[in-house]
Structure 1
Amino acid sequence: MRQRNFAAAIGGWSARHRWWALLIWVVFVAVATVAGNAVGTAEMERWEALNGDSREALRILDEAGFPRVAGEFVLVQARQGSLTADDPRFRQAVLDVKSAVEATGEVQNVRTPYDPEPSPVTQDRRTALIRFEMKGDAATAKDRVRPVLDAVAGVQRAHPELRIEQAGDASSDLLINEAIDRDFMRAEQLSIPITVGILLAAFGALLAALVPVALAMTAIFAATGLLAFTSQLLHVHSLTANLMLCIGLAVGVDYSLFYIMRQREERAKGRDPRRAIEIAAATSGRAVLISGITVMVAMAGMFLTGSGIFMGFAEGTILVVFTAVLGSLTVLPALLSLIGDKIDSRLIHGTVRAATGGRITWRRVLGVRGGESRLWSAILKPVLRRPGLSVVVAGGLLAALAVPALGLKTGPESIDDLQGDYSIAETFKRINSAFPSGTDPAVVVVKAADVTAPEFTARIEEFKRRALATGQTNEPINVVVNPDKTVAMITIGIKGTGTDAVSEQAIRTLREQVIPETLPGAHVTGMTANGMDFGEQLRRSLPLVFGFVLLFAFLLLLVSFRSVVIAITSIALNLLSVGAAYGVLVLVFQKGYGESLLGFRSTGEITDWVPLFLFVILFGLSMDYHVFILSRIREAYDSGMRTEDAVVTGITSTAAVVTSAAIIMVAVFATFATLSLLQFKELGFGLAVAVLIDATIVRAVLLPAAMRLLGDRNWYLPRWLGWLPTLSHGDEQEKERTPALVG
């Protein structure tokens, strides 16, 4: 049963009613953006970003009415070996800090080592910690902490023999988050001009370069507006918008490239403008639709993680891919119909020319003539002449790159992830080194009818005693009760660095031994517990996510190309590509090869959420090229070509667009590898490397060699699946006019 070409129908209508199509798109984008801004994106609560026991603990705390305050620390450390906390100069410096911060009027509950309830001092007495809280709500503390930072800096200048540095919730929000925001802004500002520059090189024409970017940006605006509405049901992380820009720019430009390149190719063959758009809609438009659905299905796999952060990422990326596909199928044909051949107009009449007098574009560099690339034809000849050897060499190379992935070691986010010249990060490290878990203790949350009742306070005291007796926790232990006296929050120091096995064992001991015997029903949160619960949730969800993405990708490819073999080989090639990307990621970020070149310091681990996220994104995005190339191969095959000839035609005719699209994706993702947070360096680098591998080794060597070896078996479909719909990858009108070729 042959199905109607939905993309062709939409594209044809859009080209015939271009002003209506443009008006509908403009109104859609404007309404979504304005209404979205009015509603506002609902960001997730703190507890929604967590998992398991720590999620429940933080939810109870947030609902208990505890005042949310920002805690701050000032480290006072001797630079000279003989100076200790017992020295008058050390004591005076501590008292000066206390006086200076109190004088700002912005702090409360200042505690020093010399108070009746002292703040901690190291055993060698060379390092002390001053604790205090910012007045007012923690959410706005960063706006009021600057005078406090200046006051501490003034004391440091007066006491050069000591190291006096501040760190904490408000100061890190001010200094670190602002720096990260600047990083993202810089990356975003770089992405657009880089993309336009690459498109200028691809097309050699200004309009052809600006249309894809304009379409991608309007799709991003619309998706961001829609996110405001969907986020009311499923709250999102603050980084979702940044991710949407990255993915939206990459896929939005890709989809426009697929469409515009085919329309220009048909015009070069002598088709009239409307006919060229109709053919582009029927071919590239359908490829865009299939690719977009595949990408969205892959992104949907993140819903199965059970993680609020990942689910929000899935929500945002699906919306931006949906709007990019929608724009490509509807408004792009209208724009091409309106602009016509002016889309090929040069930037300036004196555009840079090659020695032969032509403009320098990717099509010229790749030797594109008549829609096919002579360069890629030359590359394909030896590949198709010796397909077995090509599969062994290329497959062996990717397998070798994937081997290091077997030693992949993941770990939670930590202060070590902040790369670059951030003095506050070094301060946090010094505090954690001197006072392990001093800034991030375990937080035990217990709920009862009255936590101040004598029998309950006795149980809390027993908890303290048993926790300290394990040897895995340490003072100070503080108990805070909410106004209703229904929830007690117990903070307790734990041994280790907060992210190592020692700290994790301390959390397990509290949960499995101490709490059941003293405070049954209590929950544990805190940095260490949060990381453990998040990692455990990821490990449980990995099989579900991988299975979901692979199964639905298989089904989509099976339906799209009516071939079991194509579906299986496509998934195998994508997995090989992802495995190679994982291996390179391990070599660079875990083993540390290329640290100086990329400007980072390896922590010996990959951030725990990166591998899963990379798999989902890469599996989806790699389908862009794969579906586009396969659609062109199937189109040629359906027209009567032999499989080998169809492979050559499909790959050489898509070389220019695949090369341009890959370079754009690599460039966009590479800008995100310049961010200060190591996890985003890993993500940007991993995406860039994977796309590069996918668009070269996989699509130029492995795919054609494998299809050459399989021959007509590529199109095998069991008889019992004959009921599947037949989707045309070519133009039906053209088939009716042109007799089939005999191979």
Structure 2
Amino acid sequence: MVSALGPIGRLGHWTATHVRAVAIVWIVLAIGLGFLAPRVEHALSGAGWEATGSESVQARDLVDRNFQGLSSYALMVVVHSASQTAGDPAFRQTVTRAEQALGRSEAVTTVVAPQAGVSISRDGHTAVIQAGAARNANEMVRAADDLKTELAALGTDAVRVDLTGASGMWSDFNEANKTAMMKSELISWPVTLAILVLAFGSLVAAGLPLMLTIVGLVTAAGSLYLGTQLLDISIWAMNFALMFALALGIDYALFVVMRFRGAFFGSGLSAEEAVSETMDTAGQAVLFSGATVLISLSAVMLVPSPAFRSMALGIMLSVIFVLAATLTLLPAVLAKLGPRVDKLSLPWVRSGEHRSARFAAWGERLWRRPWGYGLAALAVLVVLATPVLHLDTGMPSIKVVPQGDGSRQGYEAVQRAFGPGATGPLQIVAPAGEAAKAAAVAQADPAIAQVMPVQRGAGGTALIQAIARTDPSSKQMGATVDRLRADLPPGALVGGAVAENHDLEQVLADRTPLVIGVVLGLGFLLLLVALQAPIIAAVGVATNLLATGAAFGVAKLVFQDGHLAGLLGFEAQGFLDAWGPVFFFAMIFAISMDYTVFLLSSAKEHWDRSHDPREAMVGAMAHSGRVIFAAAAVMVAVFFTFALSGPLPPKEMGVILGIAVLLDAALVRLLLLPVLLRLLGHWAWWSPRWMHRVLPDVRFGHA
């Protein structure tokens, strides 16, 4: 039997007959990397939202080097009182204590005291202290983590002290995001277990996806910690790694365990033989599914931003470990369990029930009436996708930070005292000889409300800070940055947090079509290799794109237009965060391809056996429909828990991914794609002769 198996089947046979060796390897990995996992949270970076090599990053580096670190990631401390002014003793004492606290920090190079007419408001009720950054952006966010509580404690009933600015904002946002993620996980785990028990019908079987998730997450977390020793990795990488470890662990375990139970019970095969047969079929589909997920996420690496690349890296690590565990640890555990995989079963569960009569009946109904169901599904998807034509994006505003957090309180106090643009000054760095001209250009710009006195720095450079008339997150700010760059003398650079956001947004806009094109192209090629049929491979990619467009159409209605804002508990920014189209597209496409591979690999298995289009379509629905339905139910539940808690970006992630999975499973994989298989008939599996000579022979049926 072993000689008739493919490579994945032979791997499954080896793991089934070497259970102890496989277990030892994974125990060593889990303990070794698990020992490092608790350290990862403190090692991950809180910043990285920048376009590597952009003009704004160059300007920040010059300001850090020549102006004592008073760049976009310098610390900004706001001292504010409704009843006292900067001249009152209690107010002055609070300012002095805040300056001393900043001066004691090793992350601070210099402390700039509040100055009348510059950083003390006209009414005297608000004063701003600046502290130069002695470290890079990521380290300054960590410094804000350490300092914000101490600074806030210096306040009194009459005087408030808040740490704000880019470092303070990202510190508060990351903390709120972490709290939201933990809350969502506490809700999602019991929901996930309940759905898995219903899907598997057995407590033992239901525990296998959770085993894969835990192993994948622990090993990925330990690997991320090792990665932080070499490069900065965003704290978001851990959040997304958790989500994908859970999602894919469930998907893969559902597919493999259900196939194992069908092969083992009532077949007369031993547990080892059933594992070998399972991995030769379902295991191969899992491998292709994992490859499509990795390909989709690898395209995000084309965005030159540390945050994006490290988030993609974190997810890819979790996928690699979950995939490795599915192909080695899971078959070994199944071989060891044998008939005990159905232990602690629900009363109505029948062992070995692999073919679903209900989904077979649904497939027969779609075969008889393809046009009605197909056109209805297509109409719903097109209607939902239409709003995406008017989707606007932008970098996150202060609204992503919870109302009561210090950075938001300080931000709003500065805007009230100094004007809407004071929270995001543009920093113009120019050669000293061009300083006067650069200042004049900034002063003449209609969008600039105030230009601060020129500061002379080291290296023959000058710094001009320009305060805009509008909020830093307004659309006009991007036009202002572009206009200044066009009018300023050669050698002048425009930086500051606003310019950094603008540059990253521009890079995202420029790279998004490339990322989407690469994902679609590589996804098609992988499906082509797996299915050996160009028409159905193209259909699989096109339907993925339709479901993704519908999800972003819903996102436009919710997050840009503000529908359901009250129910979900957020303030609409009037746009979707700029990372959404590129990053969420890759994530949605990866999950969609996951389901596509499961459905079409099953259809190909039946086609190779019977060459009957009806058997291919109905058989695929009968054998994979329940897996897709159960996996989607878990993921929708998990994603929607993220939509109900925390700051705005996790809500965006939860709603967009949850809606995408719901639409993809309900309208695409279980309705539209089977209808297209029905309408295409034999043409779905057509391929030119030369393709068979070029492509490897991939079969999902057990020989």
- TM score, norm. by length of structure 2: 0.89
Query: What pairs with 1:36-435 in structure 2 (closer than 5 Å)?
Result: 49-51=50-52, 52-62=54-64, 66-67=68-69, 69-76=74-81, 91=85, 95-103=89-97, 105-107=100-102, 111=113, 118-121=118-121, 128-133=125-130, 138=140, 139-156=142-159, 166-169=162-165, 172=169, 175-231=172-228, 235-272=232-269, 273-346=271-344, 358-359=347-348, 370-419=353-402, 422=405, 425=408, 427-434=410-417, 435=419
Q: Percent identity?
A: 30
**Partner residue of 1:529 out of 465, 480, 499:** 499
Moved more, 578-587 or 673-682: 673-682
Are 2:508 and 1:508 equivalent residues in the alignment? no
1:296 aligned partner, one-letter code: L
Residue 29 (structure 1) shift: 3.1
Asked if structure 2 preserves the Cα contact closer than 8 Å seen for 1:3 and 1:728, the reply is no
Moved more, 172-181 or 48-57: 172-181
1:694 aligned partner, one-letter code: D
Residue 601 (structure 1) shift: 2.4
Asked if structure 2 preserves the Cα contact closer than 8 Å seen for 1:47 and 1:55, the reply is no
Are 2:686 and 1:712 equivalent residues in the alignment? no
**Partner residue of 2:696 out of 722, 725, 738:** 725
Q: What SS is found at the alignment partner of 2:449?
A: strand
Are 2:590 and 1:595 equivalent residues in the alignment? no
Counterpart CA distance in 2 for 1:647 and 1:420 is: 52
Name the structure 1 match of 2:108. Answer: none
Counterpart CA distance in 2 for 1:319 and 1:270 is: 37
2:434 aligned partner, one-letter code: R
1:494 aligned partner, one-letter code: A
Name the structure 1 match of 2:590. Answer: 620
Residue 307 (structure 1) shift: 2.3
Q: C-alpha deviations, 1:128-158, integer Å up to 9, x for none? A: 53111469965435434435423434224xx
Counterpart CA distance in 1 for 2:441 and 2:429 is: 16
Distance 1:236 1:309, change over 3 A: same
**Partner residue of 1:459 out of 427, 431, 434:** 434
Residue 510 (structure 1) shift: 2.1
Q: C-alpha deviations, 1:638-669, integer Å up to 9, x for none? A: 12251112211111222322122111111222
Query: What pairs with 1:463-478 in structure 2 (closer than 5 Å)?
Result: 463-475=438-450, 477=452
Are 2:623 and 1:653 equivalent residues in the alignment? yes
- TM score, norm. by length of structure 1: 0.85
1:121 aligned partner, one-letter code: S
Asked if structure 1 preserves the Cα contact closer than 8 Å seen for 2:261 and 2:353, the reply is no
Residue 166 (structure 1) shift: 3.5
2:218 aligned partner, one-letter code: F
Q: What SS is found at the alignment partner of 2:77?
A: strand
Asked if structure 2 preserves the Cα contact closer than 8 Å seen for 1:101 and 1:151, the reply is no
**Partner residue of 1:445 out of 423, 429, 433:** 429
Residue 489 (structure 1) shift: 3.9
Distance 1:171 1:622, change over 3 A: closer
Q: What SS is found at the alignment partner of 1:306?
A: coil
Asked if structure 1 preserves the Cα contact closer than 8 Å seen for 2:101 and 2:151, the reply is yes
**Higher Rg of the two aligned structures:** 1
Asked if structure 2 preserves the Cα contact closer than 8 Å seen for 1:48 and 1:55, the reply is no
Q: C-alpha deviations, 1:87-144, integer Å up to 9, x for none? A: xx654775532222324642565755xx55553536xx5x853111469965435434
Q: C-alpha deviations, 1:313-340, integer Å up to 9, x for none? A: 2212122111111110011111011122
Distance 1:306 1:684, change over 3 A: same
Residue 285 (structure 1) shift: 0.3
Distance 1:47 1:553, change over 3 A: closer
Distance 1:320 1:558, change over 3 A: same
Residue 695 (structure 1) shift: 1.0
Counterpart CA distance in 2 for 1:224 and 1:386 is: 49
Name the structure 2 match of 1:82. Answer: none
Counterpart CA distance in 2 for 1:488 and 1:612 is: 37
Name the structure 2 match of 1:569. Answer: 539
Distance 1:41 1:300, change over 3 A: farther
> Unmatched 5+ residue regions in structure 2?
104-110, 135-139
Residue 20 (structure 1) shift: 1.0
Distance 1:654 1:499, change over 3 A: same
Q: What SS is found at the alignment partner of 1:132?
A: strand
Counterpart CA distance in 2 for 1:406 and 1:40 is: 38
Name the structure 1 match of 2:574. Answer: 604
Moved more, 324-333 or 164-173: 164-173
Q: What SS is found at the alignment partner of 1:50?
A: coil
Residue 165 (structure 1) shift: 6.6
Residue 540 (structure 1) shift: 1.2
Residue 44 (structure 1) shift: 6.1
Q: What SS is found at the alignment partner of 1:236?
A: coil
Q: What SS is found at the alignment partner of 1:660?
A: helix
Asked if structure 2 preserves the Cα contact closer than 8 Å seen for 1:223 and 1:323, the reply is yes
Asked if structure 2 preserves the Cα contact closer than 8 Å seen for 1:134 and 1:141, the reply is no
Counterpart CA distance in 2 for 1:253 and 1:623 is: 15
Counterpart CA distance in 2 for 1:658 and 1:550 is: 22
Asked if structure 2 preserves the Cα contact closer than 8 Å seen for 1:481 and 1:488, the reply is yes
Asked if structure 2 preserves the Cα contact closer than 8 Å seen for 1:72 and 1:171, the reply is no
Counterpart CA distance in 2 for 1:498 and 1:371 is: 57
Residue 244 (structure 1) shift: 0.6
Name the structure 1 match of 2:137. Answer: none
Are 2:665 and 1:695 equivalent residues in the alignment? yes
Asked if structure 1 preserves the Cα contact closer than 8 Å seen for 2:47 and 2:307, the reply is no
Counterpart CA distance in 2 for 1:92 and 1:60 is: 33
CA RMSD of aligned residues (A): 3.0
> Unmatched 5+ residue regions in structure 1?
78-88, 157-163, 352-357, 449-455, 733-743
Distance 1:110 1:526, change over 3 A: closer
Asked if structure 2 preserves the Cα contact closer than 8 Å seen for 1:107 and 1:135, the reply is no
Asked if structure 2 preserves the Cα contact closer than 8 Å seen for 1:414 and 1:499, the reply is yes
1:59 aligned partner, one-letter code: D
Counterpart CA distance in 2 for 1:315 and 1:147 is: 34
Counterpart CA distance in 2 for 1:22 and 1:107 is: 52
Q: C-alpha deviations, 1:374-430, integer Å up to 9, x for none? A: 332333333211212222111111111111111111111111223565475355235
